[in-house]
Amino acid sequence: MKTQIETNGIVTLPPEVSQQMKNSPLWNEDLRPTTTEEHSWRGFNFAALWIGMCLCIPTYTMASGMISLGMNWYQAIFTIFLGNVIVLIPILLNSHAGTKFGIPYPVFARLWFGAKGAHIPAMARAIVAAGWFGINVWIGAGAIDTLLSASFSLWQGIPFHTAIVFALFWLLNIGIAYKGPKAIKILSSIAAPVLGVSAIILLIWAFTSAGGWGPMLSAPSKFTSTGEFLTYFFPSLTGVIAFWATMALNIPDFCRYAKSQRAQIVSQSLSLPITMGLFSFIGIAVTSTTLVIFGEAIWDPVLLLAKFPPFIIFLGTLVIVISSITINIGANVVAPARAIENLYPKRITFAMGAIITGLFAILMQPWYIMSNFGNYIFGWLGTYGALLGPIDGIAIADYWLVRRRRMALKDLYMPDGRYNYTSGFNMNGVYALLIGVAIPVLGLFIPPLRFMWENAWTFGLFISIFAYVYLMRNDKSVLSKEEYEAITQFTNETSVSSPAANTEAVVK
């Protein structure tokens, strides 16, 4: 019996099958596969999404912080560009699964960890996203607090004034996230051009204030040898990769709406590395300018903002607030809210998941993470990269190497389906994750293996790929080509006349 339709490389469930699945405890309106009509995102939508998320304050702080570490401008740019090209590979590989089968990340994780085991990678991703949510709220709140301090002399005398602003800005972010992930489509379209223009204005200020490119980019590297540079380069590269390692996992949450594979591949391949490279250059150039003007490298944009007149602080605060909200809703709410929702799909909604995400964000103490650059890139980015690298590896290995892009879509929503494994857990995925995390961690305790920890995301990814492929080599859940063709009705756009016709062709 045909239980799914593949049209021009995109698989959907026929309406009758979807109706049958509505009583499943693994099904709800947020987690179900997208319909043909919902595959509406074109290249512009993905470009706007990435531009809006890349033009964010954490990108600026990551880039400018490398100047404070001792890199010169071209060393920092090279590190950031290379890291983004590397992380683009798993982003595109996982995007293919979301586009083809229209499933969100927590459902995708059922494929490699089982219906219950999927909570492990989903919650790991959720905790990291909650931490980023808190960081962006803290940055936005800091800008607002700076504006109020510059505008009202009595503001700084109010007890806990920063905490008050943080709480109010937290509520604003939660309120927007409450409306669901489709809100980001409109928000990104508005934020992207505003942030782009603001970045150009900031660069012009740096250029004119420093007296040209020469003084702007004159900060020399503090490293006197290649070996000394590499000591900072590899941990920094891991931090850059880890910066988007979260999106490499939950990119199916967005690509499930893609109109075609080409739309998401081309737009993401261009928008991510180019936007990150250009905006990082602005952060690096402006930070180098602060050395010329103020005598110190100011990597925190909120501290830099405080040195300007109130009107400029107002404009800067507006830009930071837009940036913080855009990246929070786009990159840091959807994944954890979906993961929390997936714990109990019949009772927990996306909106409830968004609220719980916000509470997790507070527990992550973003004020501590942002207290210095070392905590930010080596502590925060480096540590969670060691966790997410192996999960990225397992996702890639399962979809591309083990299953070869074939799955039974209906079974992902069946408690007794082929992806239930043993009591809902695919122990092969669990074992591959443990191996992928444990081996790089050895570098923390064995000095000659320190390089493995400094490149934990990369080592963890490849180790987990090899481990998972080996462990899954004879797994009965894997569909053969013949089995896939037996359950799939292949068609194309010209032969599809109506949903009713599709249903009749599939269920007959």
Render pLDDT for 42-52 as a digit per residue (tens, 0 to 9): 999 998 888 77
Q: What Cα–Cα distance (Å) separates residue 379 from each residue in 38, 143, 176?
A: 40, 24, 30
pLDDT of residue 243: 87
pTM of the model: 0.83
* Predicted local confidence at residue 335, as pLDDT: 67
Q: Which of 98-112, 274-288, 419-433 has the lowest mean pLDDT?
A: 274-288
Residue 75 pLDDT greater than 60, yes or no:
yes
324 Cβ neighbours under 8 A, 6+ residues apart: 56, 57, 136, 137, 139, 140, 169, 173
Higher pLDDT, 69 or 37: 37
**pLDDT classification of 377: cutoffs 50, 70, 90:** low
Q: According to the model, what pLDDT value does residue 502 have?
A: 43
Average pLDDT, the chain: 86
Burial of 85 (0-12, 13-18, 19+ CB in 10 A): middle
pLDDT at 493 (0 to 100): 64
> Quick check: 491 pLDDT over 60?
yes
| pLDDT confidence tier of residue 498, bands split at 50, 70 and 90 | very low
In this structure, the number of other CB atoms found within 10 A of the CB of residue 447 comes to: 7
Cβ atoms of 137 and 362 within 8 Å: the answer is no
Res 420: pLDDT: 92
Size (the chain), residues: 508
pLDDT of residue 331: 66
Residue 497, pLDDT > 60, answer no
Would you place residue 496 in the very low, low, confident or very high pLDDT band (cuts 50, 70, 90)? very low
User: For 431-436, what is the mean pLDDT?
Assistant: 97
pLDDT tens, position by position, 337-371: 877 876 777 778 878 888 888 898 898 888 888 77
- Helix or strand (DSSP H, E) at 101: helix 73-101
Q: How far apart are CA 446 and CA 232, in angstroms?
A: 19
Judge contact between 106 and 260, C-beta under 8 A: no
Q: Does residue 495 have a pLDDT over 70?
A: no
Instruction: Tell me: pLDDT of 444 over 90.
Output: no
Task: Calculate what percentage of the chain has a pLDDT beyond 90.
Answer: 41
- pLDDT value of residue 192: 63
* CATH fold group of domain 4-507: Hydantoin permease (1.10.4160)
Q: Is the pLDDT of residue 84 over 70?
A: yes
The arithmetic mean of pLDDT across residues 265-287, rounded, is 90
State residue 58's pLDDT score: 79
pLDDT confidence band for 93 (50 / 70 / 90): very high
The better pLDDT of the pair 409, 197 is held by: 409
- In tens, the pLDDT along 161-178 reads 999 999 999 998 888 877
439-464 average pLDDT score: 93
Exposed, middle or buried, 204 (CB in 10 Å: 0-12/13-18/19+)?
Answer: exposed
Q: What is the mean pLDDT of residues 383-405?
A: 94
